[in-house]
Chains A and B, each alone.
Chain A
């Protein structure tokens, strides 16, 4: 009974949450302003009305409290899906996430499971004030025990949120807020292809000369770069990682072995960022296939700047094209 609709990415997540709430009575949503308001981005719009205040819970304004109690609920058999209102406000909960949530399963020798999902609208480009545009995914990917994923399309958003909720592991679900309003087709049939979707990278555009690796908000940029480069006769393959931890190294390596060049793009600072991990893996595994060093395009080693100059910080079409040129110049 497959049915394809055109949905925004935000709406696709909403539909995915709705499915999960319908299919599993243990699923519950918790967060600030997610009820009557439907969240500040309206991702949970209408869900409290349909599922009630016990399943879609407006919490006190306390992130450590949200995550700490979610851990307790998960220990009691529930599957809490926590919304953090903005990327920069996850840090009051950082302690609970990294010292407790990530390590429960390990410490108990596998006897405990804490299937908590943390939804985080992240990334910039929306002209916001400080703490509303950050990309802290590497901080979480560096912590063993957490899965860190980010969808780039409405279809993936719809499927991946359901996979994340079904996962027995804690999942950081980073939502590219700058892409919330972009529309795409969503085949709303079932839960997708099982857990593979959550951590399998996908070639979203085939090419032969260079591999652009991106995830979340930068996948759309990478596709625009590939289209622009095509005008210059360059065939660029775009790989959407989907999962930052674990990393689907095999898909990336297979691609770079064919193309011989690799540029990694993300909004977070490049310094010690997830692109560094990709670059190191590619260098280790594709050394003899590489025509150029693996290059990275991302944010700088500065706090996220003020809105009026954020476009000089973010990996723009021009900055990625510049890196592509440099990769071809070797």
Chain B
């Protein structure tokens, strides 16, 4: 595949050693160094063109997206600690991968996320409180997928890669690929982790996407950990190399470089929309937090590793770039901080106000048509509930 050739041409930055013990022997496409300098090698020319239109204001927009996503994570984590959420899965550390790829999407594109795609959800305009309904245990979904072109979070690892592929096959059948109209042509993107690449479903999705030339982008966020297992427990080769075996152009990108993530996704989406078929993207990043709020990473990974990656925080990198290019100003930073504070406050209020649904709603939407079994049970449950309410009401009187 010419594509990994292009990526292979980019040399590994010296400050990204393999500290995770993961397969890190392949170079990463990078457009901005951790210190905030633009990478200007000839190999990156094509990718640099894809972000050339992003002016200072646009870069500040990406920064804002990342900061708000980070605040969303921090706030949700403390809400979980206060018992307001049953569980939470942070996207902390993965903001560049999510915002970069998410901002490359066109409105008509369709997203199939896993369960920590809060940055992507932010970009697609999903209300932050709605995103926490699942984690609070008041809803299995939280938003209308058709309104945002974002499917619901999927908890069964890898299942949705097949849904994305099938959806893309539908898009293709509908004539929305290669029509030449960029406002109509549509791509589908699915997000999953490094662990997910071991699932049969993900491998089957790659098979279906390849043989159907489906307009789907497989966006693997290799955050180096599947709960406690490092990527070496899933693969002996860098994950992007898997794509080649399926006949799918594949690229490995520095997942902490928001511009590089934007560029590779834009390229992959264009390929999909113009009839070039699927792309596999491995965004090499790091999960800075725990797997979820029930996880204890001290059992399996070192402080040194966490510290190493803390120093490669994707938000800091963009700040460095903004500063290096004279696009940073303190008033802007203060604005973003104030907006983040407001988001935090709003989340605290709104999440606490999310009440449990009426228990009888558990019988709703099990089927689209009336169902005798469900109706009988629902009626029984109503009577049963009533049997408590009557004496209670008498007491109140």
Q: What residues make up the interface of A, taking CB atoms closer than 8 Å to B?
A: 32-33, 35-38, 40, 58-62, 64-65, 88-89, 91-92, 127-132, 271, 300-303, 305-310, 312-313, 318-319, 322
Contact = CB atoms under 8 A, between A and B. Distances in A.
Nearest to B355: A308
Given A58-B229, A61-B195, A301 B366 contact: yes
B35 interface: no
A312 B374 contact: no
Nearest to A130: B140
B358 to A, nearest CB: 8
Contacts of A301: 366, 371, 373-374, 377
B87 A37 contact: no
Interface in B350-367: 356-357, 359, 361-363, 366
Nearest to A38: B299
B228 A131 contact: no
B301 to A, nearest CB: 9
B304 interface: no
Interface of B: 86-87, 134-140, 155-157, 195-196, 198-201, 226-229, 233-234, 294-296, 299-300, 356-357, 359, 361-363, 366, 371, 373-374, 377, 381, 384, 387-388
A307 B200 contact: no
A131 B139 contact: no
Contacts of B229: 32-33, 35, 58, 61
Nearest to B138: A308
A271 B227 CA distance: 35
Per CB-CB distance, the 4 closest pairs between chain A and chain B, nearest first, are A307-B137, A308-B356, A37-B228, A60-B198
A308 B136 contact: yes
Nearest to A91: B156
Contact of A61 (B139, B198, B294): B198
Contacts of B384: 319, 322
Given A88-B155, A305-B359, A310-B137, 5 more contacts: A37-B296, A60-B234, A129-B135, A302-B366, A308-B138
Given A301-B366, A302-B362, A306-B139, A37 B234 contact: no
20 contacts: A32-B226, A33-B227, A33-B228, A33-B229, A35-B229, A36-B299, A37-B300, A61-B157, A62-B199, A65-B200, A89-B156, A89-B157, A129-B86, A131-B155, A301-B371, A301-B373, A302-B362, A306-B138, A306-B356, A309-B356
